[in-house]
Amino acid sequence: MAKKGVPLSEMATSDTHGEDSPYFVGWKVYDENPYDAASNPSGVIQMGLAENQVSFDLLEDYLEQHPQEFGWGCGVSSFRENALFQDYHGLKTFTRAVALFMEQIRGGRTQFDPQHIVLTAGATAANELLTFILADPGDGLLIPTPYYPGFDRDLRWRTGVNIIPVHCNSSNGFQITLRALEDACAGAESMKVRVKGLLLTNPSNPLGTAITRPVLEEILDFVAHKGIHLISDEIYSGSVFSSDEFVSMTEIVESGGHQERERVHIVYSLSKDLGLPGYRVGTIYSYNNEVVTTARRMSSFTLVSSQTQKMLASLLSDKEFTENYLRTNRERLKKRYEFVVEGLSNAGIRCLQGNAGLFCWMNLGELLEEPTVEGELSLWNSMLHEAKLNVSPGSSCHCLEAGWFRVCFANMSQQTLEVALMRMKDFTEKMKAKQMISSL
């Protein structure tokens, strides 16, 4: 019998899920041939995954020393109550612990009210949820470039909302300028797209930099003037190498920006700072009661497992542990970063001066055959297949300048990192030699 396919939705057949981007293609190549020091030493090293594996031992040690308190371990009598708990307000002990943790990250400079915390299964869900709440299909969200490739899916796919890029460039270290914001708005207007908000990532992915106070103040002024919302994705806030170098949007709000608070919404998650992406713990913190209420109702589609809430409530409530963790984690990330920058420098590669995150923003402009996206992707492809290094091309992050790449350094052991840096050096030397020969 000839079967005619029954149509799915337009959403299902579009490619707005974004998985055809080089960002994800590289992952697939890695999955097919993953590096392993012992069993596959010539495999692909994954440098395209912004994960934090440098501080796991601290968590493991803690769990080993405190087995009674977690989940039900030996405290099984609480299993029943926990298994039944599906209130979308979340476990009180957990939301309190998350609020405390977020305060600690900001050195106690701002307070978080647990009642304004909404839990979602990961920041992926949090960002999508806020987009559903703040914008209608066809509306636009301003996003400074370069930005995390996942936003193309998270913010646009099911919501029907557009991303309006706010283009930043290397002339000022990719900082967001008023001019760039205004240009983006004008562009949206000319396309008859209604701008509903601005989404920042602070510290930035992929830049690895924390946004400075003056720029943050300027941004808040700008959104106030335009009458739009501001989402500050602070998922890497605990990964700033020096805690006093991070300024949260909450600080700007609380130190004089009070009247604008209703338009400010913070996204956070435990996936990066704590290195627990599998547990799907995301949060939205909003000063706007209507947003909190609506977000909470929408979180029904994406709640955090009560089992996970219970376990993490204990861990995050232990102030001594979290202080030590945050401090140690920062130190280790800083060390890694410095090691990588030095290694890249030895290979003749410059990086943007960074102070946060799990990655470097490196410039291979000199190695491009042509200063275009094609040239960049060609180089990226060579790196992937010849040097067997999966890094993320700047174009997949919507960077307008060709030749920038994001290199992750916290998702592997020190030894693997050393191997990767050696390969990078070999590769650049080879490419430079090629260039010299072809220019003869």
Footprint (CB under 8 A) of another protein, residues 92-121: 92-94, 121
Neighbours of 349 (CB within 10 A): 22
Instruction: Work out whether 431 is an interface residue with another protein (CB under 8 A).
Output: no
Out of 45, 176, 235, 284, which one is annotated catalytic?
A: 235
Instruction: Work out whether 304 is an interface residue with another protein (CB under 8 A).
Output: yes
By C-alpha distance, which of 225, 294, 232 is closest to 260? 225
| DSSP E strands, 234-332 | 264-269, 282-286
Q: Of residues 242, 301, 335, 386, which one binds another protein by CB under 8 A? A: 301
The answer to whether the CB of 44 falls within 8 A of the CB of 29 is yes
Question: Which of these ranges, 132-140, 202-210, 382-390, 432-440, lies near another protein under the rule CB under 8 A?
Answer: 132-140
Using DSSP, state whether 293 is helix, strand or coil: helix
Instruction: Work out whether 386 is an interface residue with another protein (CB under 8 A).
Output: no
Out of 272, 273, 279, 285, which one is annotated catalytic?
A: 272
| Polymer length of the chain | 440
Burial of 440 (0-12, 13-18, 19+ CB in 10 A): exposed
Residues in contact with another protein, total (CB under 8 A)? 102
Q: Which residues of 43-53 are buried (b: 16+ CB within 10 A; e: fewer)?
A: ebbbbbbbebe
Please report how close the Cβ of residue 366 comes to another protein at its closest, in angstroms.
Answer: 35
* Beta carbon nearer to another protein, 35 or 380: 35
CA distance 437 to 344: 23
By C-alpha distance, which of 249, 281, 384, 406 is closest to 340? 406
Contacts 24+ apart (CB under 8 A), 394-399: 394/146, 394/206, 395/22, 396/21, 396/22, 396/23, 396/149, 397/23, 397/145, 397/146, 397/147, 397/148, 397/149, 397/206, 398/145, 398/146, 398/147, 398/149, 398/165, 399/145, 399/146
Question: Which of these ranges, 54-62, 166-174, 198-206, 340-348, lies near another protein under the rule CB under 8 A?
Answer: 54-62
State the maximum Cα–Cα separation within the chain, in Å, rounded to a whole number. Answer: 77
Between β-strands 392-393 and 404-408, what pairing exists: parallel, antiparallel or unpaired? antiparallel
Return the residues of window 230-269 that contact another protein according to CB under 8 A.
256-257, 259-260, 262-263
Return the residues of window 340-379 that contact another protein according to CB under 8 A.
none
Instruction: Work out whether 28 is an interface residue with another protein (CB under 8 A).
Output: no
Using DSSP, state whether 380 is helix, strand or coil: helix
139 is catalytic: no
Q: Of residues 48, 106, 112, 128, which one binds another protein by CB under 8 A? A: 128
Q: Of residues 297, 327, 385, 434, which one binds another protein by CB under 8 A? A: 297
Rounded to 5°, the CA angle 172-338-37 comes to: 125
Amino acid making up residue 28: K
Instruction: Work out whether 71 is an interface residue with another protein (CB under 8 A).
Output: yes
* Beta carbon nearer to another protein, 4 or 32: 4
Please report how close the Cβ of residue 50 comes to another protein at its closest, in angstroms.
Answer: 11
Using DSSP, state whether 404 is helix, strand or coil: strand
Out of 23, 30, 35, 148, which one is annotated catalytic?
A: 148
Q: Of residues 144, 149, 152, 153, which one binds another protein by CB under 8 A? A: 153
Please report how close the Cβ of residue 76 comes to another protein at its closest, in angstroms.
Answer: 5
Instruction: Work out whether 186 is an interface residue with another protein (CB under 8 A).
Output: no
Please report how close the Cβ of residue 262 comes to another protein at its closest, in angstroms.
Answer: 7
3 is catalytic: no
235 is catalytic: yes
**126 phi-psi bin (left φ>0, alpha ψ -120 to 50, beta other):** alpha
Return the residues of window 200-229 that contact another protein according to CB under 8 A.
220-221, 223-229
* Beta carbon nearer to another protein, 83 or 191: 83
DSSP state of 177: -
Please report how close the Cβ of residue 27 comes to another protein at its closest, in angstroms.
Answer: 10
Q: Which residue has the tokens 């599998």?
A: 278
148 is catalytic: yes
Instruction: Work out whether 319 is an interface residue with another protein (CB under 8 A).
Output: no
Q: Of residues 205, 237, 294, 322, which one binds another protein by CB under 8 A? A: 294
Return the residues of window 263-292 that contact another protein according to CB under 8 A.
263, 271, 275-280, 290-291
Task: Give the catalytic positions in this structure.
Answer: 148, 233, 235, 272
